[in-house]
Amino acid sequence: MSERKMKRVEDSLTEQSHLLMPKCLNAAGYLFGGQLLAWIDETAGIVAKRHAEMNVVTVAVDNMYFKAGAQVNDTIVLIGRLTHVGRSSMEVRIDTYREDLSGTRTMINRAYFTMVGTDEKQHPVEVPGLIIEGVTQQIEFEAAKKRANLWKVRRQEGF
Ligand SMILES: CC(C)(COP(=O)(O)OP(=O)(O)OC[C@H]1O[C@@H](n2cnc3c(N)ncnc32)[C@H](O)[C@@H]1OP(=O)(O)O)[C@@H](O)C(=O)NCCC(=O)NCCS
């Protein structure tokens, strides 16, 4: 059996920016949550694809927290990083910021998406392992492992 390839969090770290246009607002004039969800999903997909070096799908969304709104002409910045890798699954944390004209960033959303590496028939495939560096990554990894285990218990017990 060949040894599992290992990669660092930095190898797949992704930052994406969008200018908030009127078409992306809700009726109250703020960033539409569904639009943000699509941007977050795209960022998570790029992070996971860069790590896995194969196609990926979104399997679950956990802890999506809308902390503040954003308005037209704000620059929306999304930063996605891996927190945990199992066999085929990868958890990505995506932090979203509103950036003002001076460049100051205010966090408006944090979400955790679970992505799965797949083959051409959309079956789960083993992805490279994750090298954990430093205390912060270790804490994130342990918390993500708890979330992944909780999902396994929920699936077993059907709640
Ligand atoms: C993702 C998919 C291939 C997984 O298939 P599956 O038969 O559930 O496969 P498994 O049970 O082996 O799960 C694969 C991995 O995902 C994890 N997983 C599955 N469902 C999960 C959930 N709801 N939450 C968290 N992790 C989950 C499993 O724990 C496993 O992780 P591991 O390999 O690291 O141990 C399948 O569910 C699927 O095709 N879903 C639709 C995806 C999609 O269309 N997304 C939207 C568009 S991108």
The CATH number of residue 24's host domain is: 3.10.129.10
Residues 6+ apart with CB under 8 A from 45: 56, 58, 115
Tell me if 66 is assigned to some domain: yes
Q: Among 92, 89, 91, which residue's Cα sits nearest to residue 80?
A: 92
Q: Given the CA of residue 123, which atom of ligand 1 is nearest to it?
A: 3
- Domain assignment of residue 130, yes or no: yes
Q: Is 138 domain-assigned?
A: yes
Q: Domain count for the chain, please give it.
A: 1
The model's confidence at residue 1, banded by pLDDT at 50, 70 and 90, is: low
Q: What is the pTM of this model?
A: 0.95
Flag whether 12 is in a domain.
Answer: yes
Q: Which residues form ligand 1's pocket by a CB distance below 6 Å?
A: 57-60, 86-89, 114, 116, 118, 122, 124, 151
Q: Whose CA is nearest to atom 35 of ligand 1?
A: 87
Domain holding 65, by residue range, is 6-156
21-64 pLDDT, tens per residue? 999 999 999 999 999 999 999 999 999 999 999 999 999 998 88
User: Is 75 within the bounds of a domain?
Assistant: yes
Residue 1 domain flag = no
